[in-house]
Amino acid sequence: GNAPEKKDVILRIDNVSKRFDATLAVDSVSLDIYKGEIFALLGGSGSGKSTLLRMLAGFEKPTSGRIILEGQDITSLPPYERPINMMFQSYALFPHMSVEKNIAFGLKQDGLPRAEIADRVAEMLRLVHMSQYARRKPHQLSGGQRQRVALARSLAKRPKMLLLDEPMGALDKKLRTEMQLEVVDILENVGVTCMLVTHDQEEAMTMANRIGIMDSGWIVQTGAPKDIYETP
């Protein structure tokens, strides 16, 4: 992929399909993601949202098609070599590690100097308003606080893109609305490009700048939230 990219396209999904035996989970999806946007993939269960997201993260390899990040073909790169991070629905925090150790984990693995790790962890804690909880363990936190830590951990490496798999899935309904606004606020503050996956129309409307409706492995429509639901 040496062709010049349109200036503000960060990620190009080019004719990507994924087949599991008889199931065509993702069917020839082409989609451009723009720098700094929060894009929501919205669709029912089994529509292919997670499979598409997992291919962007590198956990699944496309059966065909290409994934281009800032002009570089990353289709065959393993997850840890991609400047793309994923926040899981279950948060996947390490239960025996403190909040600060959870956030530092990936940075340590990357071999960042200690002082820089400390700075980065402090910055992330401030970003998600969790500075006073640095020494707590995940089980000593509320659901919303755990989500803030997971977000901090997934942003600590300064990924070019953040993928969020059903970001509010582990929260009860009341907390969900509150956290949607808070998470968007944090993401916009950082300016990171995001793709989130949800089956919740309201969540997509609240959090995203742009929505793609997914059905049977296809993206059947994309548009701004206000354009998607205008009844003709």
Task: List residues binding ligand ADP (CB under 6 A).
Answer: 20, 23, 25, 43, 45-51, 59, 88-90, 92, 165
Closest to ligand ADP by CB, 25 vs 103, is: 25
Closest to ligand ADP by CB, 177 vs 216, is: 216
Nearest distance from C-beta of residue 4 to ligand ADP, angstroms: 32
User: Which ranges in the chain belong to alpha helices (H)?
Assistant: 49-57, 99-109, 114-127, 143-155, 173-190, 201-207, 225-228
Closest to ligand ADP by CB, 47 vs 180, is: 47
**Which of 90, 21, 18 has the alpha carbon at shortest distance from 51?**
18
Nearest distance from C-beta of residue 165 to ligand ADP, angstroms: 5
Nearest distance from C-beta of residue 127 to ligand ADP, angstroms: 21
Nearest distance from C-beta of residue 96 to ligand ADP, angstroms: 15
Strand order in the sheet with 210-215: 84-87, 161-165, 193-198, 38-43, 210-215, 218-223
Closest to ligand ADP by CB, 1 vs 83, is: 83
Q: Are 11 and 32 a contacting pair, CB within 8 Å?
A: yes
